[in-house]
A and B are shown apart, each in its own frame.
Chain A
């Protein structure tokens, strides 16, 4: 069965600190896709990144970086030099490549960045 675990319910940091959000997934498939979405206080869900299971290269986008490790079934998300605008709930999600495009979401990590 597929499952996504985000063990950190809430994280609080002070601006300019680095913060890592953990995501551990379970799947029996060899082909799958991992996603991160951001849900700011305004409530919408904003797509951040999509990664397929064959691409283990880490990715950096500005202050955001993602570390994908198949050996530990993890897809962690790091924000460098956090800012107040990063305050949001972050969701990790998994989709198995069976043609249904069904997303299984983790429970989310609420990040609060204080000035």
Chain B
């Protein structure tokens, strides 16, 4: 079975450019999460969707960041304009959300973003 798929795996861009990260969750999973991992802040949740609806976006750092989930099999995280401090590994994760307690989150391979 395919796991969570993320693209691109690596992205190098220049400051001020728009960056779009993509995620395909595991088929049948109802919840999708975007995380960012940096040396300074560790793993932090940016935004969480349930049934394609954003539930908690309190972790989104600022208005330059936006996320969408137009359907159950696709989500994007966009940074516009990008800044060097956005350099990090961005993970997407999905969970079944069977409605009973907390389901296990399965992570994609991550996108390593470098903003020059």
CA gap between A32 and B93 in the complex, in Å: 19
The listed residue with most B CB atoms (<10 A of its CB), out of A44, A45, A52, A97, is: A45
Asked if A101 and B109 sit within 8 Å, CB to CB, the answer is: no
**Are the CB atoms of B110 and A101 closer together than 8 Å?**
no
B33 to chain A, nearest CB (A): 8
Residues of A in contact (CB 8 Å), total 24
Contact B43 A101 (CB under 8 A): no
Q: By the criterion CB–CB under 8 Å, are B45 and A103 in contact?
A: yes
Whether B76 is near chain A, meaning CB under 8 Å from some CB there, is no
Q: Does B13 touch A at the CB level, under 8 Å?
A: no
Chain B residues with a Cβ closer than 8 Å to the other chain, count: 25
A102 (CB) vs chain B CBs: closest residue? B45
Contact A44 B105 (CB under 8 A): no
- Asked whether, in the complex, the Cβ of B104 is within 8 Å of the Cβ of A50, the reply is yes
Q: Which of A95, A96, A100, A105 contacts B42 (CB 8 A)?
A: A105
Say if the beta carbon of A33 comes within 8 Å of chain B. yes
A97 and B101: CB pair below 8 A? yes
How far, in whole Å, are A9 and B112 apart by their CA atoms in the complex?
Answer: 23
A45 touches B97 (CB 8 A): no
Cβ B48 vs Cβ A102 within 8 A: yes
Q: Which of A44, A97, A107 contacts B102 (CB 8 A)?
A: A97
> B97 to A101, Cβ gap below 8 A?
yes
Q: Is A35 at the interface (CB under 8 A from chain B)?
A: yes
Chosen A-B contacts, 10 in total, with CB atoms closer than 8 Å, are A33-B101, A43-B109, A46-B107, A50-B102, A50-B104, A97-B101, A101-B95, A101-B97, A102-B45, A108-B42
